Amino acid sequence: MTSLADIRVIDVATLFAGPSAAMMLGDFGADVIKIEHPRRGDPSRGHGAAKDGVGLWWKSLSRNKRAAAVDLSAREGQEILRRLARGADVLVENFRPGTLERWGLGPEHLMELNPRLIVARMTGFGQAGPMAGRPGFGTLAEAMSGFAAMTGEPDGPPTLPPLALADGIAGLAMSYAVMVALHARERTGRGQVVDMAIIEPILGLLGPQMTAYQALGAVPRRTGNRSSSNAPRNTYRTRDGRWLAVSTSAQTIAERVVTLVGRPDLVAQPWFATGAGRVEHVEELDEAVGSWIAERDADEVVARFEEAQAAIAPIYDVRDIAEDPQYAALNTFIELPDEELGSVTVQNVLFRLSETPGEVRWTGRRLGQDTDEVLGELGYALEEIAKLRENGVVA
């Protein structure tokens, strides 16, 4: 038994933030119906690496989803969405504010058909405010949140992440918001609207920057791989050319690290007792740790750190991840059969539940692969579906 087997989710969002939220619900059993434009499909089909012309990101992002292709700008397509909404628990959408309303599909209309429906709205800037109507993507959130301003080397430019970071964070936050709304519905019997702006969830992961700014006027600055809260914390190169990351967030770990590298005298310094104090002496600490590591091969360094119960990890690329025994023990990646590619390796569900575990049941499907099945469940006859397909409303 899976946790969300009685929940139906309609995913009419595109690209990453909204669809990733729907994916996470599907991982734990929700019946997710992915709606795409019958001719264009979801743009994420064309993002990232592809094999034999088939997008690989799509295979993971749209796993566990049934794929139906419906033109929601067409009157007949709008009626299909109304029928879907009547039997759904959640609708995830990321159209610009006003688009669904213009089609007669706004939350007030859909919730009139189904008062228990949760309408999860994911936009770049939210449903209100001077920027609400602008196109918004995760990159803009990474820029506006302060992330880019505090990321990179001190003498370098602001740095954007090479991945859909803000979208992924917003997807996680939206899946949480949907679960909160579903729980509230158990008490009230009513659905509600979730209004999420991609520019907001990432702020919560950047620490109390606004709190510190208002209280102290502090503005975060770029520190490269160093931390503004504790030291030593950096990446260090070993004698055999490998890179290792060291963290000393806990005071006891900091003491173990400097003792290991032959500088127990530093522990006795008054400034060593706090992370802020250690940051003020980061050059001395980095020199002590970095020079010790540079004189040894990576395997020896890791072994010595483990013996000292100090925190260290190698800097991995995907080749290392594929061979790592810890990921293997956690079953972090699984290989699934795929109709188009034979088989595809994807990341497994994000956590393990002892009683109602999630499962990746299938990979992202072909455009419109389940249209007939989905419309049949709504009561459409085969002749009606054929006519809709002939008119370009569905695929």
Q: Which residues are catalytic?
A: 167
What's the residue count for the chain?
395
**Cα–Cα distance measured from residue 44 to residue 137, given in angstroms and rounded to the nearest whole number:** 13
**Cα–Cα distance measured from residue 330 to residue 323, given in angstroms and rounded to the nearest whole number:** 13
Cα dist from 247 to 227, 251, 273, 295, whole Å: 9, 11, 16, 19
Q: Which residues contact 230 (CB under 8 A, 6 or more apart)?
A: 248, 249, 254, 275, 278, 279
